[in-house]
Homo-oligomer: A and B are copies of this chain.
Amino acid sequence: MNINEYIELINKKLDEYMPEDKFPQDIFKAMKYTVTLPGKRIRPIMCMESCRIFGGNIEDAIPTACAIEMLHAQTLIHDDLPCMDNDDYRRGKPTNHKVFGEANAVLAGDALISFAPQIILKYSKHIGAEKLVKIMEEYFEYAGAYGVIAGQVADIEAEKNWKNNIFGLKPEELLDFIHTHKTADLFRLPLRCGAIIAGASDEDLEKISELAQILGVAFQISDDILDVTSTFEEMGKTIGKDENADKLTYVALYGLEESKCKLTCLLDKSCDMINGFKVQSEPLLEIISGIKKRVCIK
């Protein structure tokens, strides 16, 4: 399957999994609104491709892939709240709380954290209880306080006073912590879950985790670069916010040129890793060339 076929499949399944006529409709509509905003669907593609790379059937990974996209949407909804990043636009559309109000946006996010694993449990019964338990463990590890939320908390703190070594970390270490948890953990989750569904070995899980880390950092650096060089139309959200807020970013710390250089290096490394798998993955390579294209790297 190529990227476009994947996106079509994922969008169809997301639409299918998310009811909107259930009572009380407000909450289901708010949940579905952000989940079904057009997106690159990078994480669910990673999940299905990882499953295929390690010899699994991609059909088996669809519910988990979509659940992780729901979790991703949840982080966006809460990240955009007035008490957090206070963003009015996301993917070119008004943010969830702008449409449904703050209370519903908080609750829609809460509901998605529970709804996503419910989808996995409901539609993946045939992979067996043992694998389901493993996937649940991964889900909570990377979705929770040890994973993406740790990254968000550190990110919020870093906005305030990162020059003063908060948490006892140097700015470079703090930035690394944020990238590892805020971004890489949401890549680790789909890549590892896909591999688990395929029955991959612990060694393979290690390898795919390492790829997630490299891709996560690369993705975050590209985002930091785009925040400086891009426009609202290209990004679908308010840009230049990082600089305005004097935020801790890769560009703020190392400058634009070194950031581009580091990004190129990480993307090349991830291509090598992907090419090293027994099964070739055109879609994962396409995701990487997509990042290159966005930040104008050849």
Contacts and interface: CB of A to CB of B under 8 A. Distances in A.
A145 B78 contact: no
A167 B27 contact: no
Given A27-B149, A118-B140, A140-B121, A106 B106 contact: yes
17 contacts: A24-B154, A24-B167, A28-B145, A78-B110, A83-B102, A83-B103, A110-B149, A111-B144, A113-B114, A114-B145, A118-B141, A118-B144, A121-B137, A129-B129, A129-B130, A129-B133, A132-B133
Contact of A156 (B103, B121, B130): B103
Contact of A23 (B74, B117, B152, B167): B167
A277 interface: no
Interface of A: 22-28, 31, 74, 78, 81, 83-84, 101-104, 106-107, 109-111, 113-115, 117-118, 121, 129-130, 132-133, 136-137, 139-141, 143-146, 149-150, 152-154, 156-157, 167, 177
A110 B111 CA distance: 10
Contacts of A28: 145
A297 B133 CA distance: 46
A26 B158 CA distance: 13
A177 to B, nearest CB: 8
Pairs of residues from A and B, 6 with the lowest C-beta to C-beta distance, nearest first: A114-B144, A83-B102, A129-B129, A111-B145, A118-B140, A114-B140
Contacts of A146: 22
Task: Report copies per complex.
Answer: 2
Contacts of A149: 27, 107, 110-111, 114
A107 B151 CA distance: 11
A179 B161 CA distance: 45
A110 B113 CA distance: 8
A103 B115 contact: no
Given A118-B137, A129-B129, A132-B133, 15 more contacts: A24-B154, A27-B145, A78-B107, A81-B106, A83-B102, A106-B106, A107-B152, A113-B113, A114-B140, A115-B140, A115-B144, A115-B145, A121-B137, A129-B130, A133-B133
Contacts of A115: 140, 144-145
A144 B129 CA distance: 21
A115 B140 CA distance: 7
Contact of A117 (B109, B111, B136): B136
B153 A104 contact: yes
Contact of A121 (B26, B101, B111, B136): B136
Contacts of A152: 107
Contacts of A102: 83
B133 A26 contact: no
A160 to B, nearest CB: 11
Interface centre among A84, A133, A141 (most CB of B within 10 A): A133
